[in-house]
Homo-oligomer: A and B are copies of this chain.
């Protein structure tokens, strides 16, 4: 059922497109899943894509557009008139997908497209969704859902469910609301079939349910759906009124994006760059953090340069510069990563900062002592001077402890100031620890050698 879109496949398709061979094109791509056709759109010119688009049936074409990569979609939509956008796909998509796509257009274009939508209800749903920040529950939700009033008769409820679900692709749940549209709970279809006719809806719905508030951050929505294994989550506004529902597929994207973002920050990449990107994009994505490291390295060089004479007398001090720098970096990143994951998974206990401090101090000391013991033994065994052995050992403990503590509190502080704490896991923390490490190392060296 799965296809690999090869270079040969694309070449063959482009030939068929240039000869306008409709039958063979449909033979080639007619049975493909929209997501696969979307992938093809990314490999051909927007004009070729426009031609393919006119060949496939409307509903499928709409899904193809929804699956396009954002940059591919931008170029593709330039080929369509506002009327075409409105008629051929906005009306064929769920409101959340339609709103997502519209939000990428200029405000003027948005207005044009909206004015071309015939169904006023569809248009107003989209207008409503466009209001919300894309990283909130409101930005994730769709308006399509099945809801019934708690006061309706059994027969009316059944009729309404039938009527409403006819217009919706996937009915996950039936929601129960009161006269003010306030969400009361969910109605299991089984109960509707099994319970005797005399039982009113008000005695049948389940009121212990998970909900999202419309301005809740997407990350929190993802945490709720993950924790409670939910496929769909209702969204309510400030007054508790049911305004939409979020399905798990959108949340899967949120989870993946969050993970990717943290990963990129840790690896020192700016934005989501892929191996397939061109050399220029790849360079641009990597340069910023390399420059941060560069500036850090220059600061580090100035710290070391103040110890020039010491190095001249004891060049062996220089041997362990990379080791001290690396250990500080590693310990710092470890601490930060634990905090960043704890914040992301919501598993981080709020609590006493002093407690955290002492814990990190203990862990740092334990790790530092073991590493210091190893390096001390090495230096003594391999005939380095006692001064050097003690200097490196002491610096090792100090650097690991300091890096662990910085690594814990920097992401916590960033988080408090609403800055992404994952910033603290990348080249930023390594660079800072390099500098602190050099400072500590040579200071201890100076004390130890009693020199200069």
Binding site for B on A (CB under 8 A): 1-2, 31, 33, 35, 166, 170, 190, 208-211, 224-231, 247-249, 251-253, 255-256, 259-260, 262-264, 266-269, 273-276, 279, 282-283, 286-287, 289-291, 293-294, 296-298, 300-302, 304-305, 308-309, 311-312, 315-327, 329-331, 333-334, 336-339, 341-342, 347-349, 356, 359, 362-363, 366-367, 370-371, 374-375, 378, 400, 425, 427, 430-431, 434, 437-438
**Could you list 15 further interchain pairs (A-B, Cβ under 8 angstroms) beyond the known A255-B255, A304-B322, A330-B430?**
A1-B208, A251-B252, A266-B267, A269-B337, A274-B341, A279-B362, A286-B331, A287-B367, A290-B370, A291-B370, A293-B330, A294-B327, A311-B318, A312-B312, A329-B329
- Which residues in B have their C-beta under 8 angstroms from that of A256? 226, 255, 259
B287 and A327 form a contact (CB under 8 A): no
B224, B275, B317: which contacts A342 (Cβ < 8 A)? B275
- Nearest 4 pairs of A and B residues by beta carbon: A297-B323, A267-B337, A259-B259, A301-B319
Shortest beta-carbon distance from A433 to chain B in Å = 10
Shortest beta-carbon distance from A353 to chain B in Å = 13
| Cα(A137)–Cα(B74), bound, Å | 37
Shortest beta-carbon distance from A140 to chain B in Å = 14
- Which residues in B have their C-beta under 8 angstroms from that of A356? 275
Chain B residue nearest to A306 in the complex (CB): B319
| Cα(A322)–Cα(B400), bound, Å | 16
B2, B287, B347: which contacts A224 (Cβ < 8 A)? B2
- Which residues in B have their C-beta under 8 angstroms from that of A1? 208-211
| Cα(A334)–Cα(B263), bound, Å | 10
B347, B378, B427: which contacts A274 (Cβ < 8 A)? B347
B31, B301, B312: which contacts A323 (Cβ < 8 A)? B301
| Cα(A427)–Cα(B231), bound, Å | 38
Mind listing 27 A-B residue pairs with CB under 8 Å? A2-B210, A35-B227, A231-B248, A248-B248, A248-B252, A263-B263, A263-B337, A267-B333, A268-B333, A275-B339, A276-B347, A276-B348, A279-B363, A283-B363, A283-B366, A289-B334, A291-B374, A294-B323, A297-B320, A298-B378, A301-B319, A301-B322, A302-B319, A305-B316, A312-B315, A326-B329, A326-B434
Shortest beta-carbon distance from A157 to chain B in Å = 18
- Which residues in B have their C-beta under 8 angstroms from that of A375? 294, 297-298
B208, B260, B301, B326: which contacts A341 (Cβ < 8 A)? B260
- Which residues in B have their C-beta under 8 angstroms from that of A301? 319-320, 322-323
- Which residues in B have their C-beta under 8 angstroms from that of A293? 323, 326-327, 330
* Contact A228/B33 with A211-B1, A268-B334, A294-B375 known, Cβ cut-off 8 Å: yes
- Which residues in B have their C-beta under 8 angstroms from that of A211? 1
- Which residues in B have their C-beta under 8 angstroms from that of A308? 315-316
Shortest beta-carbon distance from A254 to chain B in Å = 11
A323 and B298 form a contact (CB under 8 A): yes
